[in-house]
Copies of this chain bind each other. A is one copy, B any other.
Amino acid sequence: MPTAIANDAIRPIANGDLFSVPGLSGAAVKTGVKESGDLDLALIVADEPMNVAAMFTKNAMAAAPVQLCREILKKTRQIKGIVVNSGNANALTGKRGAKDAQRMLDETEAAIDGKALVLSTGIIGVPLPIEKVTAGIKQASQQLQPTCEDVAEAMLTTDTIRKTVAFEVDVDGQTYHVGGVAKGSGMIHPNMATMLTVVATDAPLTQDAMQPLLRRAVDGSFHRISVDGDTSTNDAVVLMAKPAQAGDELSAEGIALIESAIGRACRELAQSIVCDAEGSTRVMDIEVIGAATIEDAERITESVATSSLVKTALTGANPNWGRIISAAGNAGVMLSPEDVTLELEGQTVFEKGEVTAAEQGRLDEAFGQDRVKIRLTVGTGPVTRHMLASDLSKRYVEINSEYTT
């Protein structure tokens, strides 16, 4: 995913997070759902109701909280808060799970005196310890603070680092803010897997503008990353914004700037997720060039990004580039070797069907970097597509075979 063109109007806020956006407060508590005793419940509350847009997992086995949020958003496009619990996904939990999600919602709405959304992440197929969760919601609602670094912590499961981002944006002569927080580590794939993200802005946006804006931001970020090709039952991205009212609407240029900042926030959070992928030792930055159609480009990038053989070659810093072209050939797209050129970190290893005389020492070095650029030309078509993907290490296997996550 390309970094947006530098723009002085959009300035990163050092150590900023969701709470860099004025008008929000948060709290995080330990409910005991996580056996480790770590923080596992976060509450995010707005001073005034905010407009909301959201995108959820495409997994047919969507968890109870996802199903509940979809119902909520059919009835309202404004919310005052979000509750997030980690350690238990409340997924595949049947009728009891639906009731538990509703109880989380009711408890939250009572505590914050306004509409809310419910997000859950963690183990699948285990009933939620709902009494611990509702007690946690009560406790959190009494501890709300205008900034709360622990919210980012309480959302994590197998993640090893907090994922936050914030920008100041000069728009129409005023300074607004965009801030975000995410969790995500394993089970990450286009269509947003095992990840939760909340992005907020104090810039005024209309409800109608928000859903397409969020879709574009997600398409350029969370849909361009892959960890293990799985997508989960609980993935969600929520965007909250100050409701635009007569008199404070942004100009078209202003909306474009805010969209740019939200897109950049999503890209940075998505990158944090890949870089924190379970057991990841390095990341590949795949660029497919010259595809005939968007669908072809997607299939080829995803085939390379999800190939176990490419991922393990990356883990071993082993420039076994034949696997990359074989993975592309395996995408179900009509390709001819004669149209294919492959560059690794700027070194051409295969050009229009022929092996080139790339220097092995330089290739080994290229493949040993933390982030390896793979540039694959597949024809003369008009479509280019980027994707970031993690490698596949023994540690990934260890995390996912030895622990129940």
Contact = CB atoms under 8 A, between A and B. Distances in A.
Interface of A: 58-62, 89, 91-96, 123-127, 186-187, 228-233, 306-309, 312-316, 318, 320-323, 325-337, 340, 349-350, 353-355, 392-394, 396-398, 400-405
Chain A residues touching B, majority SS: loop
Contact of A353 (B94, B336, B353): B94
A309 B93 contact: no
A208 B91 CA distance: 53
A323 B308 CA distance: 19
Nearest to A349: B125
Contacts of A320: 123-125, 404-405
Nearest to A308: B228
A158 to B, nearest CB: 11
B398 A325 contact: no
A77 to B, nearest CB: 27
Given A125-B321, A397-B397, A233 B306 contact: no
B94 A322 contact: no
Contacts of A340: 61
Contact of A322 (B62, B123, B314, B349): B123
B401 A326 contact: no
Given A397-B312, A397-B392, A318 B404 contact: yes
B330 A59 contact: yes
Nearest to A281: B401
Contacts of A392: 308, 397
B397 A329 contact: no
Given A326-B233, A337-B94, A355-B93, A400 B123 contact: no
B398 A394 contact: yes
